[in-house]
Amino acid sequence: MQEKKKKDCFAQVDGFEQWMDTFFHEPYESEYCQHDLHIDLFETDTVYIIEAEISLTNTTHIVINKTQHSLTIHVIDSSHEKEKIIDLPIPIMDKKITAQVTNSLLEIHISKTTPSSEQTLIIACHS
C-alpha cells in the first residue's frame, strides 16, 4: 500500500494559494459549519485522495459528481441530507474516480493518469 504524503506538487499549479485560502477559510464563514462534512486531502504518486467523515444509517446513500475542477459529495439518509462542493486546483473531468466507505470514512481516489468519462458515482451504505 502506498504511503500517503501531504500535497506538495500543487504549489506549482496556478491559483494554488487562492484555492488553499478558499479551502481553509470559507467553511468557517458558514453558519452551517457544524453540519458540514470534514474533509482531508492527501496525495500519493498515483492518486489524489479526499477523505470525508460521514455518519452512517441503515439507508445512507452517497452521490459523488465531478465537474471540470470540483467534486460534489451529497450524503442522503432517511433523516437529513448534506452536500459539500470541493473545488480543486486541477482538472478532474477526464480522470477515473473511485470511492469506498469504511467505518464512517468516505475515501475518494482521483487517478492522476487513468482516464474515465464517468461523471457520477453512487454508493449505498449499510451500517
Regions of the chain short of the pLDDT cut 50: 27-34
What CATH number is attached to the domain comprising 95?
2.60.40.790
Q: What is the count of structural domains for the chain?
A: 1
Question: For residue 66, what are the domain limits?
Answer: 9-124
Whether residue 53 is contained in a domain is answered as yes
**Cβ neighbours of 59 (radius 10 Å):** 13
Q: How much is the pLDDT for 51?
A: 93
Q: Tell me which residue of 62, 56, 55, 58 sits closest to 97, measured CA to CA.
A: 62
Q: How much is the pLDDT for 23?
A: 62
Whether residue 17 is contained in a domain is answered as yes
Q: How much is the pLDDT for 39?
A: 87
Residues 12, 115: Cα–Cα separation, whole Å: 22
Whether residue 2 is contained in a domain is answered as no
Q: How much is the pLDDT for 28?
A: 45
Q: How much is the pLDDT for 125?
A: 75
Quick one: cell of 110? Answer: 482521483
Q: How much is the pLDDT for 93?
A: 92
Could you read off the pLDDT of 30-54 as tens digits, one per residue? 444 445 678 888 889 999 999 988 8
Whether residue 4 is contained in a domain is answered as no
Whether residue 3 is contained in a domain is answered as no
Whether residue 84 is contained in a domain is answered as yes
Separation of CA 43 from chain center: 12
Residues composing the chain: 127
Quick one: cell of 37? Answer: 462534512
Q: How much is the pLDDT for 35?
A: 54
Whether residue 113 is contained in a domain is answered as yes
